[in-house]
Amino acid sequence: MKVAVLLGGMSSEREVSLVSGAACAKALRNIGYDVTEIDVTHGLWEQLLAANPDVIFNALHGDWGEDGRVQGVLDMYGKPYTHSGVMASALAMDKHRAKHVLKAIGITVADGGLFRRLDVAKSHPIAMPYVVKPNGQGSSKSVYIVKEDDAAQSAAIKADKDMGEEVVVEAYIPGRELTVAVRDGKAICVTEIIAAESDTGWYDYEAKYGEAAAKHQCPADLPDYVTALCLNWAEKAHNALGCRGISRADFRFNDENCTESNVVNKIVMLEVNTQPGMTPTSLVPEQAAYVGVDFEQLCRWMVEDASWPR
């Protein structure tokens, strides 16, 4: 079977995608697939025609690669592909609108809204502390935690055009960083990300992809009722957004005075990622390994799960 692995691309997450794609391509070759790596350009249609694959493995990250646009090209191409389709990809990537869906199905999300970046740089749109982040990117790039009046930080937000003209501003949620991978609609387990002392104290870009920047505790040491709620919410979010294949839901958990009766107010879902990283330090391969699925088996399953349309 001929598999085309889409990697690289044109987003700010290009470098991460190159690593994810190379790792997946190597794993698929090791188990006997005929693999072509495609460093995606605006000429993707011609690149696909030249490769003539049986299946497309989408290892792109960031805008254009996981926001529904590439998925639209793949739908037109008409061959099975991995991960989510157009609607789920576009909706999950739009953090503001995705939060409305999550809230509607009973999942707790952070308070906030969508604001013009330049307005945010001028004055505080909500009470501090709060988080400012792009509405349509992943990998925690261009994310600012505003805890006090800081002229330099305001200037940085004003100058950061990569964030886009509209940004998400939401209340800063203290607590522990948790994540849950979902495969074929079924949550795997809960991992806790423990930031290194030298880190920013949260799971930013360097913590995700730098060497030894954060520790992953898999499975997380949590009360059973916390684990159960995270697993349940991750599955509900995956299904409500229309995700396919693999997704990953990220949470904040404030364990201070948490009890089974108030746990729904102590866990906040931050977002759902429809194309989680597949690098050597990524969370999904770790969770899969915990339940006995090694990296090659995971990649094989993703190819076998591919379909058209998604």
Say what the pLDDT of residue 138 is.
Answer: 58
Q: Does residue 219 have a cis bond before it (omega within 30 degrees)?
A: yes
Enter the pTM of the model: 0.91
Q: What is the pLDDT of residues 208-251, one digit of tens each?
A: 545 556 899 999 999 999 999 999 999 999 999 999 999 999 99
What pLDDT is stored for residue 198 in this prediction?
43
Tell me, what's the pLDDT at 142?
A: 83
Helix (H) or strand (E) holding 168: strand 166-171
Q: Is 78 a catalytic residue?
A: no
Question: Are 11 and 65 in contact, with CB atoms under 8 Å apart?
Answer: yes
Task: Tell me whether residue 183 is one of the annotated catalytic residues.
Answer: no
Q: Quick one: CATH architecture of 92-109+174-274?
A: 2-Layer Sandwich (3.30)
Per-residue pLDDT at 280: 73
pLDDT at site 68 = 95
**Catalytic (active site) residue 52:** no
Give the active site residue among 12, 13, 21, 117.
13
User: How much is the pLDDT for 140?
Assistant: 59
Q: Known catalytic residue: 54?
A: no
Residues 6+ apart with CB under 8 A from 161: none
Q: How far apart are the first and last CA of the chain?
A: 20
Catalytically annotated residue among 65, 250, 282, 300: 250
Marked catalytic residue, from 117, 183, 248, 252: 248
**pLDDT tens digit sequence for 56-95:** 999 999 888 999 999 999 999 999 999 999 999 999 999 9
Q: Find the catalytic residue in 58, 135, 139, 282.
A: 139
**Whole-angstrom distance, CA of residue 90 vs CA of residue 305:** 20
Active-site option among 117, 277, 282, 286: 277
Task: Report cis status (omega within 30 of 0) of the bond before 125.
Answer: no
Kindly name the residue from 271, 282, 286, 310 that is annotated as catalytic: 271
CATH of 112-171, one of 3.40.50, 3.30.1490, 3.30.530, 3.40.630: 3.30.1490
**Considering 130, 209, 244, 310, which one is annotated as catalytic?**
209
Annotated catalytic residue 58: no
Q: Domain limits of the chain?
A: 2-82, 92-109+174-274, 112-171
Active site residue 232: no
Reply yes or no on whether 248 is catalytic: yes
Specify whether 310 is catalytic. no
CATH number for the segment(s) 2-82: 3.40.50.20
Handedness of CA 200, 206, 212, 215 (dihedral sign): positive
The active-site residue out of 273, 286, 300, 310 is 273
Q: Which residues of the chain are under the pLDDT cut of 50?
A: 198-199, 203, 205, 207, 209
Beta strand pairing call for 267-273 and 166-171: unpaired
- Residue 243's nearest CA partner among 108, 58, 83 is 83
Q: How far apart are CA 200 and CA 207, in angstroms?
A: 9
